[in-house]
Amino acid sequence: MTSPDKLQTVVTDSAEEAAAFIRSGGLTAFPTETVYGLGANVFDAGAVAAIFAAKNRPADNPLIVHVARIDQIRELAAEITDAAQRLIEAFFPGPLTVVLRRSARVPDIATARLDSIGIRMPRHPLAHEFLTACDTPVAAPSANISGRPSPTTWQAVLEDLDGRIDCILKGEATEIGLESTVVDCLGDMPILLRQGAISVEELRTVSPMLRMADTASDGAVRSPGLRHRHYSPRASIIIVTDVDGDTREPSTAFIGVSRVDKDRFDAVRICDSVEHYARSVFEFFRECDRRGIQTILCEAVPPSGIGAALMDRLRRAAEK
Ligand code: TXA
Ligand code: MG
């Protein structure tokens, strides 16, 4: 793939300045409560193509489209199913993406030629201000080079995309730190495609019929992004349950909630809670890469609430 021309990447804390780039066909990264996204006007096929080029993203991986207002969903979806309606009422704005049949107005490139579209309304105040100023729905994958850990700080966006995008809207480190929950709402029975901060337990309070995608078959087919290698630092990831176990090799790091002996590792992140662990993990992976760490031991957590999403990301990062 040819690399895009070198751009001057503007870093700003003005939502209006950041949105002006979107309105004129450019690319702006912006914070949400999950991770930073890399946005373009979804109705501008050239701008959406530039997202794929900037990230080196495979063309078969569809983008999530972000809205500031509920009524914008009608510009994107051909039909809002009852299942979607219930989830939207319960969880928008928030860290949830619903997949619906797409409207003919959406360019093919944004949805990787699928006849469906992922839609999300972030609850982050700066994201809301930015999306309002864009005055159009904004297609935005996570603002990292494909395959790298998702960015949870504006500095991580700059690390991956400096000179490849027009603008970064600078906010705080993101609150959740893992990407949104993705639910296929095309049929009567919603299907969980990607775990996230809205847990299965919470989804089932609204949609008792919700089932998990069978990752071996329909997960990969319905959500092509899940097929690709993800969230990976250069270091190898090993998931551990017994943190006091064997002796460690040199150049090893640890992240988890147990109070390990810091002297045993070259880099350590002890988190106060599973939420804190989820918020810290991608940035810790990046820090380990900057320091040349070779192996990262990641402590397993109980797979409930955000713990399920965290374990999903750790497993994917550990895949070779
Ligand atoms: O929290 C998030 O979701 C962040 C922020 C920026 O909103 N975005 C994000 O986007 O994580 P991305 O592109 O890194 O991941 C999008 C996921 C992929 O797994 C993709 O396959 C799936 O959503 N997806 C998008 N559109 C879809 C569709 N029409 N059908 C099934 N899966 C879809
Ligand atoms: Mg991503």
Burial (Cβ within 10 Å: 0-12, 13-18, ≥19) of residue 281: buried
Ligand nearest to the CA of 118: 1
Q: How far, in Å, from the CA of 35 to the mean position of ligand 2?
A: 9
Structure-model confidence comparison of residues 298 and 218, the more confident one: 298
Identify the residues whose C-beta falls under 6 Å from ligand 1: 32, 34-35, 37, 61-64, 97, 99, 111, 114, 116-118, 120, 140-142, 179-180, 182, 193-194, 222-226
Please state the rounded mean pLDDT for residues 85-91. Answer: 98
Ligand nearest to the CA of 182: 1
**Residue of 32, 2, 33, 34 lying closest to 15 (CA atoms):** 32
Out of 2-6, 15-19, 218-222, 244-248, least confident range: 218-222
Determine the pLDDT at residue 97.
98
Q: How many CB atoms lie within 10 A of CB 6?
A: 9
CA distance 76 to 101: 9
Name the token pair of 127: 């994201």
Rounded to 5 degrees, what are φ and ψ at 133? Answer: -70, -25
Nearest atom in ligand 1 to the alpha carbon of residue 225 is: 21
pTM of the model: 0.95
Task: Grade residue 109 by pLDDT with cuts at 50, 70 and 90.
Answer: very high
Please state the rounded mean pLDDT for residues 157-184. Answer: 98
Mean pLDDT of the chain: 93
Which residues touch 246 (CB under 8 Å, ≥6 apart)? none
Query: Which among 97, 108, 138 is the best mutation to test ligand 1's pocket, defined by most ligand atoms within 8 Å of the CB?
Result: 97
> What three-state secondary structure class fits 125?
helix
Name the token pair of 250: 């040199």
Determine the pLDDT at residue 249.
75
Asked if pLDDT for residue 37 goes beyond 60, the answer is yes
Task: Grade residue 229 by pLDDT with cuts at 50, 70 and 90.
Answer: low
Please tell me the residue having the least CA distance from ligand 1 atom 13: 141
Structure-model confidence comparison of residues 298 and 216, the more confident one: 298
